[in-house]
């Protein structure tokens, strides 16, 4: 039988399989604990699950409005106002999305056209680059320092050109676990001054910050606020990554454009889950207690590593902890993690009862 050939040039031809897919497959194959992907191994709060069931029983099973149900949008805006002192209007400046991922994709699609540049800070969460490429944009990379994963703001400034349409930041940062300080935010604000560059701020881990540090939302910085789209994830925040519930907020002129993409790609997002999250957000402790909750887990994890040959700087936020393995081998990280070579097989054998 002949196969179909469309003679098209693939839009995303150079993208490798994501490391999350590779490591998750390997973890399943070897029956290993999968600590390579950002999702929790404990249950979603039963109260939240029950709220979804109640909403379904109450008949909220048909399409929600395009931007999300009003009471949910209101709850999101109130939360942001109380945490960061910024006012977004529920009517026109918030959209409920299919996870932070859809918020990011819709924002990039809304603003980035063929040949325009988008500054991405590397290492980066893996959905930014494909979204830029799919829209004909050009990713321009700024590398974080490989010792402490801090930004080189001089380097950042040097990458801004007349073609720069957007900058993407992510704090707390996946995968380094670092967070932007107020000084970083001022550097960013100064670097963007006088330009019409849009800032996309991925704040999926806003409620996972450790050691008494604070999350620096762009919503706190008036000049950044005006040019920014903030993307957030209820999946991450409420241990329900499989629900793919998120949102974005932005000043009205930006939000209008994002909604044009969202409306004709997704239209609207799970109605009963929106009802449930609206109720759940009425108790701020559900998200305010998370820093302490996750810090205990980070501390336990690091405690378990104390006697190993890994070295580390404790993560400042997120689910992630980077480890330095230079005392173990000089070869590359993927080979070490996948035990691909004979040396690694030997090493993995030695440490198969690693106890973490
Ligand atoms: C930095 C970052 N942004 C966004 C997402 C995606 O969030 P969601 O599952 O809500 O689409 C992730 C998921 O791992 C992430 O790490």
pLDDT, one tens digit per residue, over 116-160 is: 999 999 999 999 999 999 999 999 999 999 889 999 999 999 999
Q: What's the distance, CA 15 to chain centroid?
A: 19
Output the CA torsion 221→225→227→230 (10° steps).
120
- Tokens found for residue 310: 């890994």
263 Cβ partners below 8 Å, 6+ apart?
Answer: 66
**What is the helix (H) or strand (E) element at residue 275, kind and residue range?**
helix 271-280
Q: Are 35 and 26 in contact (CB under 8 A)?
A: no
- Tokens found for residue 335: 């080979």
Strand partners, 122: 143
Q: Are 226 and 197 in contact (CB under 8 A)?
A: no
- Tell me the CA–centroid distance for residue 349 and ligand 1, in Å: 33
Q: Are 60 and 271 in contact (CB under 8 A)?
A: yes
Ligand 1 atom nearest to CA at 319: 16
**What is the helix (H) or strand (E) element at residue 106, kind and residue range?**
helix 99-111
Residue 116's nearest CA partner among 165, 168, 167, 158 is 165
- Cβ 100 under 6 angstroms from ligand 1: yes
Residues 104 and 98: their CA atoms lie apart, in Å, by 10
Q: What is the pLDDT of residues 296-321, one digit of tens each?
A: 999 999 999 999 999 999 999 998 99
Comparing 190 with 337, the larger pLDDT belongs to 190
Q: What is the pLDDT of residues 79-94, one digit of tens each?
A: 999 999 999 999 999 9
Task: Tell me the DSSP string of 183-244.
Answer: HHHHHHHHHHTTS--EEEEE-TTTT-B-TT-----GGGSHHHHHHEEEEEEHHHHTT-GGG-
Mean of per-residue pLDDT scores for the chain: 92
Residues 2 and 5: their CA atoms lie apart, in Å, by 9
Percent of the chain with pLDDT over 90: 78
For 273, phi then psi, to 5°, come to -70, -35
Strand 198-202 vs strand 138-143: parallel, antiparallel, or unpaired? Answer: unpaired
Test site for ligand 1: of 38, 180, 203, most ligand atoms within 8 A of the Cβ: 38
Distances from the Cα of 102 to the Cα of 77, 95, 109, 260, angstroms: 19, 11, 10, 13
Lowest mean pLDDT among 185-199, 315-329, 330-344: 330-344
Query: What pLDDT score was predicted for residue 3?
Result: 76
- Is residue 212 classed exposed, middle or buried when 0-12, 13-18 and 19+ CB atoms within 10 A define those classes? exposed
Q: What is the pLDDT of residues 220-249, one digit of tens each?
A: 999 999 999 999 999 999 999 999 999 999
Residue 353's nearest CA partner among 37, 22, 32 is 32
Task: Detail the DSSP E strand segments found in the chain.
Answer: 94-98, 117-122, 138-143, 164-170, 198-202, 228-233, 245-249
Helix axes 252-265, 99-111, angle to 10 degrees: 110
Instruction: Quote the longest CA-to-CA distance of the chain.
Output: 64
Ligand 1 atom nearest to CA at 103: 11
Q: Are 165 and 117 in contact (CB under 8 A)?
A: yes
Query: What pLDDT score was predicted for residue 340?
Result: 64
- Tell me the CA–centroid distance for residue 100 and ligand 1, in Å: 6
- Cβ 131 under 6 angstroms from ligand 1: no
Helix count and strand count (H, E) for the chain: 15, 7
- Tell me the CA–centroid distance for residue 92 and ligand 1, in Å: 24
| Residue labelled with tokens 């974005």 | 248
Average pLDDT over residues 64-78: 98
Q: Mean pLDDT: which of 1-5, 166-170, 345-349 is highest?
A: 166-170
| Residue labelled with tokens 């693939």 | 10
Residues 34 and 213: their CA atoms lie apart, in Å, by 28
């Amino acid at each position: 039988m002949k196969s179909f050939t469309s003679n098209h040039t693939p839009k995303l031809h150079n993208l490798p399989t994501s490391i999350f897919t590779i490591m998750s497959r390997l973890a399943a194959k070897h029956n290993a604990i999968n600590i390579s992907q950002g999702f929790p191994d404990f249950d979603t709060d039963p109260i939240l699950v029950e709220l979804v069931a109640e909403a379904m029983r109450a008949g909220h099973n048909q399409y929600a409005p395009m931007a999300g149900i009003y009471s949910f949008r209101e709850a999101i805006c109130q939360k942001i106002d109380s945490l960061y002192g910024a006012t977004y209007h529920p009517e026109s400046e918030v959209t409920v999305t299919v996870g932070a991922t859809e918020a990011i994709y819709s924002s990039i699609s809304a603003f980035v056209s063929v040949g325009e540049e988008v500054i991405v800070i590397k290492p980066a969460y893996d959905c930014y680059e494909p979204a830029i490429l799919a829209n004909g944009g050009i990713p321009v990379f700024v590398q974080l320092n490989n010792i402490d994963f801090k930004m080189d703001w001089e380097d950042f400034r040097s990458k801004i050109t007349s073609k720069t349409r957007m900058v993407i930041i992510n704090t707390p940062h996946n995968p380094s676990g670092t967070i932007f300080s107020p000084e970083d935010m001022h550097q960013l604000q100064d670097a963007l001054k006088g330009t019409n560059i849009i800032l996309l701020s991925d704040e999926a881990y806003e409620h996972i910050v450790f050691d008494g540090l604070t999350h620096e939302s762009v919503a706190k910085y008036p000049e950044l606020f005006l040019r920014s789209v903030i993307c957030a994830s209820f999946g991450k925040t409420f241990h329900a990554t499989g629900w793919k519930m998120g949102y974005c907020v932005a000043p009205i002129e930006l939000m209008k454009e994002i909604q044009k993409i969202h409306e004709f790609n997704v239209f609207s997002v799970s109605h009963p889950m929106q009802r449930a999250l609206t109720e759940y957000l009425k108790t701020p402790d559900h998200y305010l207690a998370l820093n302490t909750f996750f810090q205990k887990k980070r501390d336990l994890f690091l405690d378990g590593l104390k006697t190993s040959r890994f070295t580390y700087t404790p993560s400042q936020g997120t689910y992630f902890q980077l480890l330095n393995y230079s005392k173990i081998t000089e070869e590359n990280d993927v080979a070490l993690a996948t035990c691909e070579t004979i040396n690694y097989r030997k090493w993995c054998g030695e440490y198969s009862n690693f106890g973490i």
